[in-house]
Amino acid sequence: MWTIIEQIFPYAIVFTIPLLITALGGLFSERSGIVNIGLEGLMIFGAFAGSLTIYYLQGVWANQTLVLWTGLIMAMVAGVLFSLLHAFASINLSANQIISGTAINLIATALTVFLARNITGSGNIRITSGFSPTDIPVLSSIPIIGDLLFTKTYPTTWFILIVLVISGFVLYKTKFGLRLRSCGEYPQAAEAAGVNVRRVRYSGVLISGAFSGLGGALIIVTYAGEFTGSVSGLGFLALASLIFGQWRPLGILAATFFFGFASTIANVSQVIPELAIFPPILLKIFPYIVTLIALVVFSKSSQAPKAAGETFDSGKR
């Protein structure tokens, strides 16, 4: 049993990181009062922009690490640009936020595959190489936790964990975080206190776009290596993690690892003899069954922001 956990754990962390950063993006958006179910689509746009940038630059720039980080930055830019559509529709036009997010999800695959076919001749964009996993000196030698946490790790893993810590600090220890949370709980009171609700909500949605785009690109530069027009439903798993984690950073960390571990079992089952005895189709649907069960169990006790999904008409003209 311990051998199985030791084999799966590093892969589980790799699968968790894109989920984590995307769910954090959803957290900023929903804490501001805007429901963003377009996380899946924003991840796809990020994966497309990141892979396309790396595809062109890997043959031009000698520093491949710089190429990969540039791809991640361009993925964040793409996520921000397309999240503007959701922000404008939800905040300025008071459109239904669920429909707006669904539209982004529908557009994302069709548009990116169309562009990929016209740019590369196929619907896929393959990068030459991504980040390589490494063992952290000294720490990887620590008994038990060294093998679990500090072997076969990517630099992006530690970067995203730093972003998690900063996000928690921003949300709960800064004026911006207080204003963001107040806009998601009681926007009328926030406006009466002098907060520009529209501006804060725009900030929340744009941050969610940047984080979701980054999450999509992380899939490409860590374990996928190729853009195919899909992120295999990870955006929806991130949304489920947001609910499961009760809209709190540490709760989201636990939830995304839970779902990441479930996804890992599905993806590496055929190369681990102990798991190969189970039918592949059963293991493939395992993460989604676990997601449904978790949502059913925890939905009644969910503590969503009270004004999430509600339109807000500012009294300021």
Collapsed DSSP state (helix, strand, coil) of residue 125? strand
**Residues of the chain with confidence (pLDDT) below 50:** 317
What is the per-residue pLDDT across 82-96, written as a single tens digit (0 to 9) for each?
A: 999 999 999 999 999
Residue type at position 92? N
Q: Would you state the pLDDT for residue 278?
A: 77
Q: Would you state the pLDDT for residue 127?
A: 94
What is the per-residue pLDDT across 149-163, written as a single tens digit (0 to 9) for each?
A: 888 899 999 999 999
Helix intervals (H) in the chain? 2-31, 39-57, 64-87, 97-120, 145-149, 155-173, 175-185, 187-192, 197-219, 234-244, 249-268, 280-298
In the numeric block, which tokens belong to residue 246? Answer: 């009760």
pTM: 0.93
Q: Are 152 and 135 in contact (CB under 8 A)?
A: yes
Q: Would you state the pLDDT for residue 317?
A: 46
- DSSP letters along 30-45, please? HHTT----THHHHHHH
Q: Are 243 and 37 in contact (CB under 8 A)?
A: no
